[in-house]
Amino acid sequence: MAKSQASFMKKQLETNKRKKQEDKKQRKEERKKNSPGGGLENMMAYVNEYGEISSTPPEKR
């Protein structure tokens, strides 16, 4: 006898779901590998005495 259409669809949906998860995982790893990194020093912004934003820390006097 032939298998029912419902069991075939269940298997098909499961394989599609598994493939989608693997693709998502692969894209996530690729983004991590290609990212420049983002340490605290790279995200830090300083404000000088004139209220201007700069990426370098102020000079200590």
Judge whether 35 lies within some domain.
yes
Tokens matching residue 47 = 């404000």
Q: Work out the pLDDT band at 3, boundaries 50, 70, 90.
A: low
Give the global pTM. 0.52
| Rounded Cα gap, residues 20 and 13, in angstroms | 10
Judge whether 60 lies within some domain.
no
Average pLDDT of span 10-32: 96
Judge whether 39 lies within some domain.
yes
In the prediction, which pLDDT does 28 show? 95
Residue type, 8: F
**Mean pLDDT in the chain?**
86
Supply the range of the domain harboring residue 38: 5-54
Q: Could you tell me which of 36, 34, 53, 31 has the C-alpha nearest to residue 44?
A: 53
Count of the separate structural domains present in the chain: 1
| Rounded Cα gap, residues 40 and 53, in angstroms | 16
